[in-house]
Amino acid sequence: MTTQRTEKQILEDLRAAQSAYIELAQNPESTQAATQTAAKAVSALNTELGEYIVRGANPCECKATPLGMLKTPGYFDQAKGVDVPAVWEVGCVYCNPVLVERDDGKALIIDDATKTVKRRSFSARATTPEEAVRKWNEKQWVEDFYFDRIKGFTPVYAPDAKA
């Protein structure tokens, strides 16, 4: 599929396709074929959006093509009265996150030693797809404290650490 459409246009179509699918799925008179066709349309648009996001992104170190996604759509924060920008993410679904030592990390006990670490994911996030791709290509990875999301790893916090 070739596309010159922007993410806004793809997202608009995606939202319309999602509503159409939900309507069909909730209507007992819908045929299975119609519901399946609607589901396929949603899936195709998700694929198109993903491909759109990762244009220009280098392959991962593991050689896989990274996956692009809209992590959270932008929205208007009623309470604060501000627009909260969308978060776009480019990431590898095959590479597991790793621990990296950082001054602003959390103290964990690893192999009997206390290390100040963060969890680094093989993903980059930004408020536009282009910026997420740029950060991905520059290896500006997401670093956070979700240690329990590292496969096969159970974090042991050092006694003085704020868990």
Q: Are 128 and 8 in contact (CB under 8 A)?
A: no
- The tokens describing 155, both together, are 């974090």
Give the nearest distance from C-beta 61 to Zn ion in angstroms.
6
In the shown chain, the binding pattern of residues 59 to 88 toward Zn ion, with x for contact by CB under 5 A and - for none, equals -x-x-x------------------------
Give the nearest distance from C-beta 4 to Zn ion in angstroms.
28
Burial of 129 (0-12, 13-18, 19+ CB in 10 A): buried
- The tokens describing 50, both together, are 């993903």
Considering the complex, state which of residue 49 and residue 123 has its C-beta at the smaller distance from Zn ion. Answer: 123
Q: Counting contacts by CB under 5 A, is residue 92 touching Zn ion?
A: yes
DSSP character at residue 26: H
Give the nearest distance from C-beta 98 to Zn ion in angstroms.
11
Considering the complex, state which of residue 75 and residue 94 has its C-beta at the smaller distance from Zn ion. Answer: 94
- Identify residues 34-63 at the interface with Zn ion (CB under 5 A): 60, 62
Stretch that binds Zn ion, among 80-88, 94-102, 104-112, 138-146 (CB under 5 A): 94-102
Q: How far does Cα 150 stand from its chain's mean position? A: 16
Q: Counting contacts by CB under 5 A, is residue 94 touching Zn ion?
A: yes
> 57-71 in b/e burial notation, b at 16+ Cβ within 10 A?
beebeeeeebbbbbb
Contact residues toward Zn ion (CB under 5 A) are 60, 62, 64, 92, 94-95
